[in-house]
Amino acid sequence: MTDQPTPRVSYGEIARLFLRLSLTAFGGPVAHIALAEDELVERKRWLSRDHFLALVSATNLIPGPNSTEVMIHTGYVLRGIPGALLSGACFIGPAFLLTLAFSVIYVSAGAIPEVGSLLRGISPVIVAIIAHVGWRLLRAALRDAALWLLFILGTAALLLPGLNISELAVMLAAGLLYAVYKSGFRLPSSFSVFSVSSVPLWWNLSFPLLPALQTVQAAPAALWDIFWYFLKIGSVLFGSGYILISYIQQDVVNGFGWLTTRQLLDAVAIGQTTPGPVLTTVTTVGYIVAGLPGAIVGTLGVFLPSFVLVILTAPLIPRMRRNRFLGAFLSGVNAGVLAAILVTLIDLGNAALHTADGSAWSPLAVLLALGALGLLLRFKVNATWLILAGGLIGLLTQL
């Protein structure tokens, strides 16, 4: 598996791109990854599509917010550890500041600004972007019948009611099945790339913390308590950032008593309203609990493990891709990732293309999605402009 040479990209170019992505990345982790692929692979050609898929697969195998870790990984590939720190900070920073501003308004006014029409205009465009990028990734990743079969089975496992199979389990199963199939049903001795000195660094870090997350007692919230709690969350949180909500409900609301259920729902709404990582919900939680210092330490705590884990594991990816067994494993994981993207696309599409009350299809939303998809396919319009246009149409039409 070969790649195009990695271009020499300046720190200024990295900063400008990821600052812009942070300000336009609505729609959750899958949408963020779609926007990143459009910029990094299709437009700027900083990464090949195979390389980008490898980064996406790798981030699904470590704890933390997937889309943020893809951005950090990209910075590492382009400019090493300084690039990783810069790309991650630029992707998180503007989203943190926007979320903080909304949190200040919420706490002072007791209400969330009305932005429903804006988001309902953006959502159909996000669906079109994910569909377009998903199709490109599908053609690049599923190179043989076995991968197509794993993709179909993974999609069925995630869609079938009652199974409750996690996305991580589907990705790992697809990776292992394809790796064993391609290696002739033998585990190679080179599997030691995942030795105790490498991946178990995060395994040993995260899993001892799991019991601590369950041991919660009502107590006043000191800044250290906020930082340490969200540091542990960031160290064990697999999959989508939306899983964070269940942790907060169980611990911060029911256990610590730092928030009410109503405040949690409002914090989630603010996190959804602003672009960038979903985990900036923690910014609002921290602000409600302890003001500006709480917002800062909570955000630092939840994102810090992502930087550490990406920097520790990033050197392994080239070795994995050169190794036959592990390269096949990543290819299988890709099939599971694409299954998760398709399921997310179905869920988002169902929500985005209906009226606000969900009772019927919205003709304008459907037209927005189809129009955006047509522009992407035919004219390769920059996704940022489509998002801005969708938001403007939503505001003007009160969609």
Residues 172-179 have a mean pLDDT of 94
Region 158-167: mean pLDDT is 85
pTM reported for the whole predicted model: 0.79
Q: Give the mean model confidence (pLDDT) for residues 10-36.
A: 91
φ and ψ at residue 354, rounded to 5 degrees = -105, 165
Output the pLDDT for position 139.
87
Distance CA 118, CA 68 (A): 24
> Residue 163 corresponds to which amino acid?
L
**Residue 192 pLDDT more than 50?**
no
pLDDT of residue 242: 54
Q: Give the pLDDT band of residue 212 (cuts 50, 70, 90).
A: very low
pLDDT at residue 107 is higher than 60: yes
Tokens of 243: 């899983």
Could you tell me the two tokens for 125?
């465009």
In contact, 251 and 233? CB cutoff 8 Å: no
Averaged pLDDT, 271-296: 88
Distant-in-sequence, close-in-space partners of 260: CB < 8 Å, separation ≥ 6: 253
| pLDDT at site 359 | 79
H or E element in which residue 336 lies? helix 324-352
Assign 149 to helix, strand or coil: helix
The encoded tokens of residue 304 equal: 């810090």
Residues 73, 94: Cα–Cα separation, whole Å: 19
Question: Residue 272 pLDDT more than 80?
Answer: no
pLDDT of residue 66: 86
pLDDT digits 0-9 by tens, 193-204:
444 333 333 334
In terms of C-beta density within 10 A (0-12 exposed, 13-18 middle, 19 or more buried), how is residue 30 classed? Answer: buried
Average pLDDT of every residue of the chain:
84
pLDDT at 215 (0 to 100): 42
| CA–CA distance, 248 with 138 (Å, rounded to integer) | 35
Q: Is 219 exposed, middle or buried (0-12, 13-18, 19+ CB in 10 A)?
A: exposed
- Judged against a pLDDT cut of 80, whether residue 187 lies above it is answered with no
pLDDT tens digits along 114-145: 566 777 888 898 889 889 988 988 988 999 99
Least confident interval from 74-88, 125-139, 287-301: 125-139
The radius of gyration computed from the CA coordinates of the chain, to the nearest angstrom, equals 21
- Write the pLDDT tens digit of every residue in 222-249: 899 999 999 998 888 775 555 666 677 7
5 pLDDT band (50/70/90 cuts)? low
276 DSSP 8-state letter: S
pLDDT at residue 211 greater than cutoff 50: no
Cα separation, 341 vs 31, whole angstroms: 9
Residue with tokens 């800044």: 223
- Give the CA-trace dihedral at 55, 57, 59, 65, to 10 degrees: 110
pLDDT for the residue 105: 85
> Ranked by mean pLDDT, which of 118-127, 174-183, 312-321 comes out on top?
174-183
Indicate if the pLDDT at residue 154 is higher than 90: yes
* The amino acid at 355: T
* Token couple for 380: 């390769």
C-alpha to C-alpha distance for 27 and 281, rounded to whole angstroms: 14
Q: In terms of C-beta density within 10 A (0-12 exposed, 13-18 middle, 19 or more buried), how is residue 320 classed?
A: buried
- Stated as kind and residue range, the H or E segment containing 24 is helix 11-24
Q: What is the distance, to the nearest Å, from the Cα of residue 224 to the centroid of all Cα atoms in its chain?
A: 27
CA–CA gap between residue 369 and residue 363 (Å, rounded)? 10
Nearest Cα neighbor of 177 from 316, 7, 334 is 334
Give the separation between CA 257 and CA 14, rounded to whole angstroms: 41
Helix H or strand E segment including 105: helix 66-109
Give Cα 278 to chain centroid, integer Å: 8
pLDDT higher than 50, residue 341: yes
Report in angstroms the alpha-carbon separations of 344 from 62, 200, 349: 20, 30, 8
